[in-house]
Copies of this chain bind each other. A is one copy, B any other.
Amino acid sequence: MCQRSSEMKALVKEGGGGDNRLQHKLLASVFYEASTRTSCSFQAAMHRLGGRVVHVDASPSTGNSSSKKGESLEDTIQCMECYSDVLVLRHPVQGSLARVISRVNKPVLNAGDGIGEHPTQALLDLYTIADELGGLSQIKQQSTSENPLTVVLVGDLKHGRTVHSLAKLLARSGVVNDPSTQLTLVYCSPPLLQMPQDVQDYVAQFGITQTEIPSLADAVAKANILYVTRVQKERFDLEEDYNQVKGMYIVNQELMRMAPSNMIVMHPLPRVDEIAVEVDDDSRAAYFRQMENGMYVRMAILDLVLSSKDK
């Protein structure tokens, strides 16, 4: 997938922006909740490969779909299946994709189902790590037992679907699909928002070192990757609890001065104030490149799914 995503990046950056390999193929994109980024990058990915898109905004507040007439999710998706070659589904309820795929014969890509999964986000995060650190073989050579690849996950680790998926995928894939790569996961969060035990147990199976470092300044000292997520006020029952941690997990220039020169900063976006805008000009700020990678990864997935179908 990383190899294929790199090819897509080269196609867009040096190959004139795209090609026509998915000509006459149609993507039906059905979003039951808003996600500009995910939706737009899937659409852009399809367009860059010459395919076409029909987008349905099916969110209850702004959308316009037949779900308002009482139609079931399964029926709506089966309708869209009739017109298309591949589907993308975003739904606020965990397990929605599982419900749907039993009734659909065409490939359905999961663009997030509530607190369930968001697999293309995890893949683009993984690809970004590989891409930023100079390629997969590079990472393998650099990471030794004295000097493991250190990934710091910071912010709300309790509720963040993104960090759960990334931790699991990093553990399972060993970044390079090679268990000889040495990996350390560092969890940096307020006490109330720690990484759930089930994720930690899953990661532990693969023999990955996991440590908790509550102080962000301490955590970044040896980081290769700083993966930032937002601490949201609404997660706290007591305002005093929030006020106590507010500002402790902010990435700014001052923090960046303490960080290694080859560390990269990632964020699934959108951000609010957890990364100061002043950091954007730091070459280590990888979050916009990360987002761009989202398009390349989704191009790779669409190509894989639709090209293999023809063979």
Q: Does A37 contact B (CB under 8 A)?
A: yes
A296 to chain B: closest CB distance in Å?
A: 10
Contact (A40, B28) CB under 8 Å given A75-B269, A270-B69: yes
Whether A65 lies near B85 (C-beta < 8 A) is no
> Does any Cβ of B come within 8 Å of A62's Cβ?
yes
In the complex, which of the residues B37, B52, B58, B270 contacts A70, with contact meaning CB atoms closer than 8 Å? B270
**Residue A112 is within 8 A (CB to CB) of chain B in the complex:** no
Please give, as numbers and ranges, the residues of chain B lying within 8 Å of A75 by CB-CB distance: 269-271
A18 contact set on B, CB distance < 8 A: 24, 26
Q: How far is the CA of A172 from the CA of B48 in the complex (A)?
A: 40
Residue of B with least CB distance to A81: B288
Question: Chain A's interface: helix, strand, loop or mixed, by majority?
Answer: mixed
Question: CB-CB < 8 A to A64: which residues of B?
Answer: 34, 36, 57, 59, 62
- Per the bound structure, the CA–CA distance linking A134 and B85 in Å amounts to 26
- Given A43-B54, A76-B36, A270-B70, verify A17-B28 contact (CB < 8 Å): no
Chain A 259-294, CB-CB to B under 8 Å as 1, else 0, gives: 000000000011110000100100000001001101
Is there contact, CB below 8 Å, between B34 and A65? yes
Pair A19/B26 contact, Cβ less than 8 Å: no
Q: Are A79 and B269 in contact (CB under 8 A)?
A: yes
- In the complex, A235 has a CB within 8 A of chain B: no
Known: A17-B25, A66-B270, A270-B75. A295 touches B83 (CB 8 A): yes
Give CA–CA (A103, B36) in the complex, Å.
20
For residue A68, CB closer than 8 A to chain B, the reply is yes
Give Cα A272–Cα B16 distance, bound, in whole angstroms: 45
List the B side residues contacting A43 at CB < 8 Å: 54
On A, residues with C-beta under 8 Å from B are: 16-19, 24-26, 28, 34-37, 40-41, 43-44, 47-48, 50, 52, 54, 56-59, 62-66, 68-72, 74-76, 78-80, 82-85, 103, 269-272, 277, 280, 288, 291-292, 294-295
